[in-house]
Amino acid sequence: MSIRSLSLIVGLSSTIVIVSTLNAESAFAAADENAYEEALELKKKEDYKKEITALDTAIKQNPNHAKAYRERGTAHFCLGQFQKAIEDFTKSISLDASDPSAYVNRALVYQDTEELDKALDDLNQAIKLNPNEGAAYFLRAMVYSRTGKLQNVIEDCNKMISFNSKEPTIYWCRGDAYMKLRQFDKAVDDYSAALNLHQTFVSTALDPKHACIYYNRGVAYGAMGEHEKAIADFSTAIKLDSKDVAYFNARGVSYEQLGQYDKAIADFGEAISIKPSALFFENRARVYDKTGKPDLSKSDKESAKKLDSQKSDSQKSDKQKEEN
């Protein structure tokens, strides 16, 4: 059963990196740099289009304004304009190669464009320039996670925790690495730490962002054979996000392991009603077999086979389109 990896959740890393840049530089601009100061104020309001306009003016007034290029790159990134963001960060670096934030933010774009080697190069350079650049360690940990270098993930998360032990996403990231290493007890500890910190600093225990963490901890509990705890976490995840089929399927599996077959059938059925999948039909068919309902099992197996066939045909069609 797969987990919901932090490295695949859009927005969390970018929030940390972009905010760090703003906090570090909000007092930088000189008194006469009105356009740059205006841009920083617009950034706080997340009005990125107007921020870009203000930065265009600042750059026109001073073509060597490295930080203006960097800030404009950040604004382009926030608008999903990745190539423009890369160009601005590259220009900023050409004007001031000593600024680690420009490397970190360019790495963030490279991560989103799947250019992971380039992202790692930039993050390594940022850390070389400033060994205390916490955002660089965190983003590098997520890149390492995507490349399967799990021990490196743990090492970078440990470093980040030494800078900031109150940031819940770091524990989530490290917990994912422990899960993939099948160190389930350590994963549970990290997911629990992430949840406790979220509840302390976000002021609510019921934030939809937490659903993935409850789900991941539930998967860890299930892998350890602690299915009652797994069910409790899957139930909380469902309360937070009742449209995610993975949560119902996972809870169904744990109910099945405890011999609570009616509840397992109900959860697999709920998953099927939201988004039919061969896996969900196969899981329910297996429980029908265990409860002596061969006709229902046969029907589900046929449905699973039909969905698998449709999926295979779709994949072949997509491949043919790519070849043409």
**Is the pLDDT at 11 greater than 70, yes or no?**
no
Report the amino acid identity of residue 283.
N
Domain 7-26+38-164: which CATH number of 2.40.170.20, 1.25.40.10, 3.30.1310.10, 1.10.10.10: 1.25.40.10
Q: How many helices (H) and strands (E) does the chain have?
A: 17, 0
- Backbone angles phi and psi of 243, in degrees to 5: -105, 0
Residue 311 pLDDT grade (very low, low, confident, very high; cuts 50, 70, 90): confident
Alpha helices in 45-149 (DSSP H): 48-61, 66-78, 82-95, 100-112, 116-129, 134-146
Judge whether 70 and 101 are in contact, CB under 8 Å: yes
Q: At what angle do helices 278-290 and 294-323 cross, to 10 degrees?
A: 160
Residue 9 pLDDT grade (very low, low, confident, very high; cuts 50, 70, 90): very low
Give pairs for 299-303: CB < 8 Å, separation 24+.
Answer: 303/276, 303/278
Provide the 8-state DSSP code for 65.
-
SS3 assignment, position 260: coil
Mean of the pLDDT values across residues 287-294? 97
Give the pLDDT score at 25.
Answer: 42
Mean of the pLDDT values across residues 261-282? 97
Report the amino acid identity of residue 257.
Q
CA distance 178 to 174: 6
For the stretch 241-262, pLDDT in tens is 999 999 999 999 999 999 999 9
Two tokens, residue 51: 């921020």
Judge whether 205 and 194 are in contact, CB under 8 Å: no
HEC readout, 213-251: HHHHHHHHHHHCCCHHHHHHHHHHHHHHCCCCHHHHHHH
SS3 breakdown of the chain: % helix, strand, coil, rounded to 5?
80, 0, 20
Least-confidence region, from 78-92, 173-187, 203-217, 300-314: 203-217
Domain boundaries, the chain: 7-26+38-164
Give the pLDDT score at 324.
Answer: 58
Residue 320 pLDDT grade (very low, low, confident, very high; cuts 50, 70, 90): low
CA angle 112, 189, 215 (to 5 degrees): 55
For the stretch 29-48, pLDDT in tens is 453 378 999 999 999 999 99
